[in-house]
Amino acid sequence: MDAALLVSFLSMQVINPVIEEGWKKILRDEFHSPYFSELKEFLVEERQQHTVYPPGKLIFNAFQHTPFSRVKVVILGQDPYHGNGQAHGLCFSVPPGIPQPPSLVNILKELRDDLGIPIPQHGNLENWADQGVLLLNATLTVRANQAGSHQNRGWETFTSRVIERISEHKERVVFLLWGRYAQAKESLVDGNRHLVLKAAHPSPLSAYNGFFGCRHFSKTNAFLEQRGTNGIDWTL
């Protein structure tokens, strides 16, 4: 693919993303805003010079799996995994055949201890996303092997708008905020309309400081079911 076609293709992936129509409608202004144009230009340049994860067609994968109309739960991560083959557009999740990263291992341990669900052999969380769990990273891309390399380029503004739109236009959504980075987004959520559950990050560095034992999976289902909504089948 020559340079002109590459730029055209990458521009379309960001400015005209393959994204579920409900999200496209509610986020239309974001895709045409100045900050998003700058983000697009940055990503085009990055992909010309570096390997970037996830692949372009998977940048908005979380929105494809979880249409706006079906959002029940939001789990907020920081940025995509930066190792080869790990990132597929869903926070904390990895595709089939990829070993479970340490934070995901701890998430699945807490799930086992909370609800008695056996730890699976894989780390693919698509089953959660397809039931209405928006697995949203604050930053949707990353340079290979460089954690945090696409922070402060505009993605955080975009994903903050996503959280605000959910808070404004939905009712009775559960926001799971694990770690200080995610908890900084709490101010974007109307706590009178939604449930915010906070805990330490599931990273091995902090999981024993309040993530283990938080029981967020059972608390989420109790909240949803008390309000007449089906809970999440957390089995993988």
Is 29 a residue of the active site? no
29, 79, 130, 233: which is the annotated catalytic residue?
79
Q: Which secondary structure element, helix H or strand E, spans residue 65, and what is its range?
A: helix 61-65
Q: How many helices (H) and strands (E) does the chain have?
A: 10, 6
Closest CA to 177 of 198, 156, 201, 195: 198
Q: What are the φ/ψ torsions at residue 176 (nearest 5 degrees)?
A: -100, 110
* Measured distance CA(15)–CA(31) in Å, rounded: 6
* Measured distance CA(215)–CA(135) in Å, rounded: 18
Contact 39, 13 (CB under 8 A): no
Strands 73-77 and 174-178, bridge-based pairing: parallel
* Measured distance CA(157)–CA(122) in Å, rounded: 32
Closest CA to 92 of 56, 122, 52: 122
Annotated catalytic sites, by residue?
79
